[in-house]
C-alpha cells in the first residue's frame, strides 16, 4: 500500500463504470498508462468501504504478479493521499469490445480469436486461484496488435455482484447458480465468457430482441432458447450451449476445456453480417465471385430472403435462392442455405 503522489499525472477521462472512472495518465517510469479511480459506491457504509479498500489493496498485490499476454498488466494500486479513493494503474490499451458489440455482428473467425485470447487469459487467472466475476465485452480490451486482453479482474466480490448488477448491466452475464445464491466460481466465469461470445457474434441490434437475461436465466434452460443468426453453424451453437448449461457439471470444467472446444469450430465460409431494423445482410467474396444474402421483415407475418452471387470482373449474376414466408420458415430456409 502506498499514497498517491503527483508523479502520476491524470489526463482525460476515457471510460466510466459503476466502480469508478478511467483516465489516461502519465507515469514517469512507464509512460502513458490507464488509471482507474475506485470509489465508495452509493449505499456502501464507511465501514464496508474501509474493509473493501483493504481487500482491493491485497488483491492488487496478487494482480501485479498475474502477468500474461492476455491479461491487462496491472502496475500498482495506490491510496490517494486526500480524497479516500484508490487508483489502479494499468497497461493502456486501444479500447474495449463494447463499441465493437454495439457496431454489429463480428465475423466468426474474429470471435474465435477473441475467444482464444480471452480463455488463455482466464486460464492464467484461474490457475492463480483468482476469479474474474465480470466478463463482458466492456472488460475485454484490445492492444495495438488486436490481441484481446482481460481487464477489470479480481476487483469484484460476491458481496457486490447482485447489488450492482442492475445498474452496471452486469446482470445479463450472471450464471443461473449465481442467481440461486450459490456464488461465483470458475464455471460461472465460463458461463459469462460464453454469453460474451454470443453477444459478439450477434451484435447489439440482434440482442435487443432477447428478453432481459437477468429474468430469463432464472427460468432455466436459457441457453437452449437463445435466438441465433442463421449463418452461425451448429458446431458453434453446441459449444456455447454447453458452456452455458444450467447444470455446472455439464459445462466445460475449466477454461482450457472451453478453449479446446472453441478451437475446433468452423469459421468458413467467412461471412460478414450487417443488421438494421428489419433487415439483415450477409456478404463474402471468393477470387471470382461476390455473394450476398438478404433477409427482410416485410411485416410481422411476412419475411423474405434472397441470395445471389455476382462476378468480380466479367460474368453474370446468379440467383441462388429466394422465398417469402413466415419468420420461422425464413430462418429455417436460411439455416439450410448457410449449411450447404
| Catalytic annotation, residues | 134
Buried b (16+ CB within 10 A) or exposed e, 57-80: eebbeebeebebebbbbbbbbbbe
Q: Taking the CB of residue 83, how many other CB atoms lie within 10 A of it?
A: 10
Residue 106, class by beta-carbon neighbours within 10 Å (0-12 exposed, 13-18 middle, 19+ buried)?
buried
Which candidate, 300, 308, 292, places its Cα nearest to that of 330? 300
* Cβ proximity of 1 and 79 under 8 Å: yes
C-alpha distances (whole Å) from 30 to each of 26, 27, 177 are 8, 5, 41
Amino acid at each position: 500500500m502506498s499514497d498517491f503522489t503527483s508523479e502520476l499525472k491524470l489526463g482525460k477521462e476515457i471510460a466510466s463504470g459503476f466502480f469508478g472512472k478511467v483516465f489516461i495518465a502519465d507515469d514517469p517510469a512507464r509512460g502513458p498508462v490507464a488509471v482507474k479511480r475506485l470509489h465508495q459506491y452509493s449505499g456502501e457504509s464507511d465501514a464496508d468501504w474501509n474493509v473493501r479498500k483493504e481487500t482491493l489493496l491485497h488483491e492488487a498485490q496478487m494482480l501485479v504478479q498475474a502477468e500474461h499476454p492476455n491479461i491487462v498488466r496491472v502496475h500498482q494500486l495506490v491510496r490517494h493521499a486526500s480524497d479516500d479513493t484508490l487508483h489502479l494503474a494499468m497497461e493502456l490499451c486501444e479500447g474495449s469490445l463494447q463499441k465493437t458489440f454495439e457496431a454489429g455482428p463480428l465475423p466468426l473467425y474474429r470471435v474465435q480469436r477473441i475467444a482464444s485470447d480471452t480463455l488463455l487469459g482466464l486460464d492464467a487467472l484461474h490457475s492463480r486461484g483468482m476469479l474474474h466475476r465480470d466478463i463482458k465485452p466492456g472488460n475485454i480490451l484490445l492492444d495495438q496488435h488486436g490481441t484481446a486482453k482481460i481487464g477489470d479482474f479480481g476487483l469484484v466480490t460476491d458481496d457486490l455482484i447482485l447489488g450492482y448488477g442492475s445498474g452496471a448491466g452486469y446482470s445479463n452475464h450472471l450464471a443461473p447458480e449465481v442467481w440461486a445464491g450459490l456464488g461465483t466460481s470458475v464455471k460461472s466465469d465460463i458461463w459469462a465468457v460464453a454469453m460474451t461470445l454470443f453477444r459478439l457474434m450477434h451484435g447489439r441490434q440482434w440482442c435487443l430482441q432477447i428478453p432481459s437475461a437477468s429474468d430469463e436465466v432464472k427460468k432455466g434452460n436459457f441457453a437452449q432458447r437463445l435466438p441465433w443468426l442463421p449463418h452461425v453453424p451448429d458446431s458453434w451453437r453446441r459449444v456455447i450451449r454447453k458452456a452455458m448449461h444450467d447444470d455446472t457439471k455439464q459445462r466445460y470444467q475449466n477454461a482450457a476445456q472451453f478453449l479446446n472446444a472453441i478451437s475446433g469450430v468452423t469459421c468458413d465460409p467467412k461471412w460478414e453480417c450487417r443488421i438494421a431494423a428489419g433487415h439483415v445482410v450477409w456478404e463474402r467474396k471468393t477470387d471470382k465471385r461476390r455473394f450476398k444474402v438478404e433477409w427482410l421483415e416485410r411485416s410481422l407475418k411476412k419475411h423474405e430472403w434472397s441470395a445471389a452471387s455476382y462476378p468480380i470482373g466479367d460474368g453474370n449474376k446468379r440467383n441462388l435462392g429466394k422465398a417469402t414466408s413466415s419468420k420461422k420458415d425464413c430462418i429455417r430456409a436460411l439455416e439450410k442455405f448457410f449449411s450447404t
